[in-house]
A and B are shown apart, each in its own frame.
Chain A
Amino acid sequence: MTIIHFQFLSAILFSLGLYGVLARRSAVLILMSIELMLNAVNINLIGFVAFRGFGQEIQTFGQVLIIFVITIAAAELALAIAIILRIYRNKNSVNVDEMNILKG
């Protein structure tokens, strides 16, 4: 088990998430895809932290960093969901291709 395994996994997961974001129509699904991408980042990070031989201290720091990532992800999700609900209330839909009021 080496860093490369983690990196590969992370890359695949990230691409899947990216595909989800680009291709899906439901806002909730896009949100889920973003969560996937965040996870991909975390996997990459933990791979480096654990198997790069930084030593105890940096390893701890890396984990703390991931905790923060998760925290921020949670905060982001809460707000995003709130926004989606708000949009649903206004437009009666969560489909992103029905939302184009920013059209020029």
Chain B
Amino acid sequence: MISIDLILFFIASSLVVGGGFLVVTVKNIVYAAFALLVAMLGTAGIFLLAFADFLALVQILIYGGAVVVVILFALMLTRLEDFKGLTDNSQKPLAVLVSLTVLTIMLYAIVATAMPTSQGDAISMIDLGVSLFQDWAIPFEVASLVLLVALIGAVVLVRQDEEGR
């Protein structure tokens, strides 16, 4: 019996898989970036289907907005000639082999250890907020520190040296 959410799931997952496939195969890097965006949006859809509304929003905002944009900026700051006609490196056949093997193992593992499933509940954003800011307040603050440090680190790394080198 194919339910409506299963159909939605397949649509979203085809977005994810298709986007992901394009990311790792296309030759033009800008296209790859947009394919990544597609995959991220698909993931947001998956989140929605798993009752994680807030996460879906976050996913769109951070990945769809920030991450892809940052990557595009990075592309703009680097050399443009290489963008089209990307080639893969010499161990491509091995890579194919290894990833297929890993995929097989994982799929086998999934099938072999079939999990019982039960229907989940919707989580209200209020609960999530309460949990985040009460139970997990300290890790949350620490995470913000991590971000801050990453920010500073990024700035320091890309800053022009004083001699202008």
- Could you list which residues of chain A lie within 8 angstroms of chain B, going by C-beta atoms? 1-9, 11-20, 22-26, 28-29, 31-33, 35-36, 39, 42-43, 46-53, 55-56, 59-61, 63-64, 66-68, 70-72, 74-79, 81-86, 88, 92-97
A24, A42, A51 — which one has the most chain B CB atoms within 10 A of its CB?
A24
> Are B67 and A77 in contact, CB atoms less than 8 angstroms apart?
yes
| Chain B residues whose C-beta falls within 8 Å of the C-beta of A4 in the assembled complex | 110-111, 114-115, 117
C-alpha spacing A8/B123, complex, angstroms: 24
Residues facing A in B37-89 (CB within 8 A) are: 39-40, 43, 46-47, 49-52, 54-55, 58-59, 62-63, 66-67, 70-71, 74-75, 77-79, 82, 86-89
- Name 6 extra pairs, CB < 8 A, besides A56-B127, A71-B143: A12-B20, A17-B20, A25-B86, A28-B75, A29-B29, A42-B43
Provide a sorted-by-A list of 16 A–B residue pairs whose CB atoms are within 8 angstroms.
A5-B9, A9-B13, A9-B46, A13-B20, A24-B24, A26-B82, A28-B75, A32-B33, A32-B71, A35-B40, A46-B52, A55-B121, A59-B51, A70-B62, A72-B146, A77-B70
Using known A-B contacts A6-B50, A61-B131, determine if residue A32 contacts B36 with beta carbons closer than 8 Å: yes
Answer whether A15 and B106 are a contact pair too, CB < 8 Å, given A26-B82, A32-B71, A60-B127. Answer: yes
Q: How far is the CB of A46 from chain B (nearest CB, A)?
A: 4
Q: Are A52 and B117 in contact (CB under 8 A)?
A: yes
